[in-house]
Amino acid sequence: MAFLCWFSLCLVGFLYRTHLIVAQYDDRSTMLALKKELEVSGWGANDSDHCSWTGVQCSSSLSMVEKLDLSHHELQGNVTLVSGLKALKWLDLSFNDFHGPIPPAFGNLSELEFLDLSWNKFQSSIPPELGSIRNLRSLNLSYNWLTGRVPDELQGLESIHDLQISGNRFNGSIPHWVGNLSNLRVFTAYENELNGKIPENLGSVSDLQLLNLHSNQLEGHIPNSIFASGKLEVLVLTMNKLTGNLPESVGNCKGLSSIRIGNNMLLGSIPKAIGNISGLTYFEADNNNLSGEIVVEFSQCSNLTLLNLASNGFTGTIPPELGELMNLQELIISENGLFGEIPKSIIRCRNLNKLDLSNNRFNGTIPEDLCNAPRLQFLLLSQNSLRGEIPHEIGNCAKLLELQMGSNDLTGTIPPEIGWIKNLQIALNLSFNHLHGTIPSELGKLDKLVSLDVSNNQLSGSIPSALRGMMSLIEVNFSNNIFSGQVPIFGPFQKSSKSSFAGNKGLCGEPLSSSCGNSFDPDHGGYHHKVSYRIILAVIGSGLAVFISVTVIVLLFMMREKQEKAAKDVDITEDGATNPPVIIAGNIFVENLRQAIDFDAAVQATLKESNKLSTGTFSTVYKAVMPSGMILSVKRLKSMDRTIIHYQSKMIRELERLGKLYHDNLMRPIGFIIYEDLVLLLHDYLPNGTLTQLLHDFPMKTEYEPDWRTRLSIAIGVAEGLDFLHHVAIIHLDISSGNILLDANSKPLVGEIEISKLLDPSRGTASISAVAGSFGYIPPEYAYTMQVTAPGNVYSYGVVLLEILTTRLPVDEAFGEGIDLVKWVRGAPARGETPEQILDARLSTVSFAWRREMLAVLKVALLCTDSTPAKRPKMKAVVEMLQEIKQS
């Protein structure tokens, strides 16, 4: 007996071992074949130990592959082989370059729980075989080139928690069985071509938390079922063709933080139950046919940050109770039928950043203390029936970027205090009112203002010559008033069309055809002097002082900085003494750096001005030496936008995603720290400085080594980095040579890529606004569209190319008034200059080969900086053109 027992045990043991060996052998050969097929960099030389290869995890007892993470490896090839790894539980192939259909053989991976194929180029329809992976909990097929209907076989995925199929070209309707998946928590299918209705039972048997279906062609109404469990946290249905009401049952979802249902055909009023959603932060329902009054219940949503009801049929008045919303940043209710007063209580919204009441029937006066809302940047009141005078207190709106008051019934004079709003830059529009009196010369202080419109009033007197201080003007309109005298001789005025000054009987001089006879302009002599001083001010204001080498300017700048610093230092020491910074959150994305980085040391480094490395449009960068000896670059965001904090978890996810965005030419974050209301981003410290320094700092050095080939490699590297960003649908908000860092081998890394993600926490049609870019790099269309686009990025890149070719700054007084680098280069033929006079002669005269290449790159730069966005090449084409120049 004993012997038999022993024998059978032995036999079992023997069989088991054989199985083990066979299995191990199987996975090893599969992995070797896979290594050969995909050429994975970083898969080791030791063929006998596939379990130690990067991204591979095996079961602890048997050496079978359980987890395979090949994300971000730029891989292509045939991945069918993976289906041979029978024990696989986790497969992540996201962010690669895989083409062709998804292998049906993946359906045989019966142990699989997590499958991420997002951000590839998988084509054709979803193989029905995937429906047989019974254990699958998470399926992500987002951002591929998949087409057709979602196959019914997928209803076999009974365990599915997270189902993401966004950013493809799926058509047909959302299958009804999605509503029968009892474990579904996250369902996203945005940016597809789905039509038909949202399934009536979606969410009825599961605790749905996130539903995002924006940008499809969905019809019918919003089903009650999605609110049934009360667990919904995020609802995004923007840009569809939905009809019907927002159901009353939405009030069940106390934890719903974001409701975005704009750009549909929704009807009816907002249910009062909206007040039951205590966690609501973001409510966007613009461009629908909603009606009724703005329900007072919104005032119970104490976390509400954005309320956008624009372009609907709302009537009645603004409930004064909205003033209780201490977190409200944007109140956008333009294009409705609202009337009455602007409630004074609105000023209590301490965080109000944008107030857009335009295009309604408001018929009260402008509250005097409106500007007590300390963060107000956008005050948009045009096209109403507002009465009374513009209060002098408007000058207290120190943060204002845009002031629109056109087409109202305003009377009185223009308060000179408007001139004190130093930040005003997008527009000042007072047109079509009943204003009289003269234009205050104080307006000349608005040196960042792009558009000024005072047309169609009863303004009189001469146009003050002090308006020449408005160095950034592009558009002006003084028409249909009773101005007299000469139009000041000033670029932006002279370049305007006649119609900008028409309808003023007493005006004369260019650009009007009536000349002023022999009258003369008293200020003319001191003009150039004055202009150059103003340019300096404008440049400093735009945060560009870093680029300027003229000593006087640097001194001016330093004095200003010193004063600001003195003020800031006091703040900091007071703060520091009473309560040291409390770190709220932080993480390091790179495992093996966790030990080396100390959060407190990083925070402390930003409190010392001597650590400051640079200041950009959106951030200040400090050098931080860790106790471990590691040196970091710590970027402190200028968080005027407190949404960043509101969307903390969203932001952290974005950062982690960016942290994984591997590209040789991108500077990705290695971690972050949030303390108080500040965000610090951690990066590797690159001691070689920026492209700006390489190009423009060498007069300081004793000798300069001309090296065109290095510059060309840098140009190509930057283009590749940007091409990659566009490939993953990220638009850079601030391309400039100052944001391009160089490593020890002069390899360029594009920085500030986080900004685009952090300033738009909600993706898609969000209206959180920000002014973007550095002076001289901003595409011309931006002044009108206020949107940074991929072609806009190409323009800014073109400016960087010109900088590399000419070794000139993007803005330089030497170009002449109102002329930037792009205009200077484009104007060369007209000035009778040859391209050689434009290119940096220290490079172009070294050899014929270099000269030929530089001329070819110049052509690319001119294509990139075409004033028509549609004519500019794509970043991908730019890379190809430059590669070709380098190789020929």
Q: Which residues lie near ligand NAG (CB under 6 A)? A: 46, 48-49, 78, 80-81, 94, 100, 104-105, 108, 116, 118-119, 129, 138, 140, 147-148, 155, 162, 164, 171, 176-177, 180, 186, 248-249, 251-252, 273, 276, 278-279, 303, 339-340, 363
Q: For ligand NAG, give the closer residue by CB, 657 or 842.
A: 657
Q: For ligand NAG, give the closer residue by CB, 467 or 658.
A: 658
Q: For ligand NAG, give the closer residue by CB, 105 or 607.
A: 105
The backbone torsions φ and ψ at residue 624, rounded to the nearest 5 degrees and listed phi first, read -130, 120
Q: For ligand NAG, give the closer residue by CB, 148 or 687.
A: 148
Element holding 682 (H helix, E strand): strand 678-684
Maximum pairwise Cα distance, the chain: 129
Q: How far is the CB of 4 from ligand NAG (least distance, A)?
A: 35
Cβ atoms < 10 Å from Cβ of 700 = 8
Q: Scan for tokens 């890529």, then name that residue.
A: 753
Q: For ligand NAG, give the closer residue by CB, 119 or 282.
A: 119
Cβ atoms < 10 Å from Cβ of 76 = 16
SS3 115: strand
Q: How far is the CB of 373 from ligand NAG (least distance, A)?
A: 21
Whole-angstrom distance, CA of residue 323 vs CA of residue 352: 10
The backbone torsions φ and ψ at residue 316, rounded to the nearest 5 degrees and listed phi first, read 85, -160
The residue type at 16: Y
Q: How far is the CB of 46 from ligand NAG (least distance, A)?
A: 4
Q: For ligand NAG, give the closer residue by CB, 147 or 688.
A: 147
Q: How far is the CB of 15 from ligand NAG (least distance, A)?
A: 20
Q: How far is the CB of 648 from ligand NAG (least distance, A)?
A: 7
Q: How far is the CB of 81 from ligand NAG (least distance, A)?
A: 5
Asked if 627 and 605 touch (Cβ cutoff 8 Å), the reply is: no
Q: How far is the CB of 429 from ligand NAG (least distance, A)?
A: 23
Structure tokens given for 416: 């000179």
> In 722-750, which positions are buried (b, 16+ CB within 10 angstroms) versus exposed (e)?
bbbbbeeebbbbbbbbbbbbbeeeeebbb
Residues forming beta bridges with residue 773, ordered by sequence position: none
Using a 10 angstrom Cβ sphere, with 0-12 exposed, 13-18 middle and 19 or more buried, the burial of residue 130 is buried
The residue type at 408: N
Q: For ligand NAG, give the closer residue by CB, 206 or 308.
A: 206
Q: How far is the CB of 235 from ligand NAG (least distance, A)?
A: 15
The residue type at 451: S
Whole-angstrom distance, CA of residue 475 vs CA of residue 334: 24
Asked if 343 and 323 touch (Cβ cutoff 8 Å), the reply is: yes
The backbone torsions φ and ψ at residue 575, rounded to the nearest 5 degrees and listed phi first, read -55, -50
Q: For ligand NAG, give the closer residue by CB, 230 or 829.
A: 230
Q: How far is the CB of 617 from ligand NAG (least distance, A)?
A: 27
Give catalytic residues, as residue numbers: 734
Cβ atoms < 10 Å from Cβ of 829 = 10
Q: For ligand NAG, give the closer residue by CB, 149 or 852.
A: 149
Q: For ligand NAG, give the closer residue by CB, 119 or 675.
A: 119
Structure tokens given for 519: 């009258």
The residue type at 407: S
Distances from the Cα of 207 to the Cα of 162, 253, 282, angstroms: 12, 11, 21
Cβ atoms < 10 Å from Cβ of 524 = 11
Using a 10 angstrom Cβ sphere, with 0-12 exposed, 13-18 middle and 19 or more buried, the burial of residue 238 is buried
Convert 370-424 into a string of H (helix), E (strand) and C (coil): HHHCCCCCEEECCCCCCECECCHHHHHCCCCCEEECCCCCCECCCCHHHHHCCCC
Q: How far is the CB of 782 from ligand NAG (least distance, A)?
A: 30
Q: How far is the CB of 119 from ligand NAG (least distance, A)?
A: 6
Q: For ligand NAG, give the closer residue by CB, 301 or 439.
A: 301
- DSSP one-letter string for 258-313: EEE--SS---SPPPGGGGG-TT--EEE--SS--EE---GGGGG-TT--EEE--SSE
Q: How far is the CB of 399 from ligand NAG (least distance, A)?
A: 24
- Sheet strands side by side (includes 671-675): 583-588, 671-675, 678-684, 631-637, 619-625, 612-615
Asked if 24 and 64 touch (Cβ cutoff 8 Å), the reply is: yes
- DSSP one-letter string for 475-500: EEE--SSEEEEEPP--HHHHTS-GGG
- Sheet strands side by side (includes 436-437): 436-437, 458-462, 482-486, 506-508
Q: For ligand NAG, give the closer residue by CB, 49 or 523.
A: 49
Q: How far is the CB of 55 from ligand NAG (least distance, A)?
A: 15
Element holding 27 (H helix, E strand): helix 2-38
Q: For ligand NAG, give the closer residue by CB, 252 or 844.
A: 252
Asked if 219 and 199 touch (Cβ cutoff 8 Å), the reply is: no
Whole-angstrom distance, CA of residue 332 vs CA of residue 625: 45
Whole-angstrom distance, CA of residue 664 vs CA of residue 720: 9
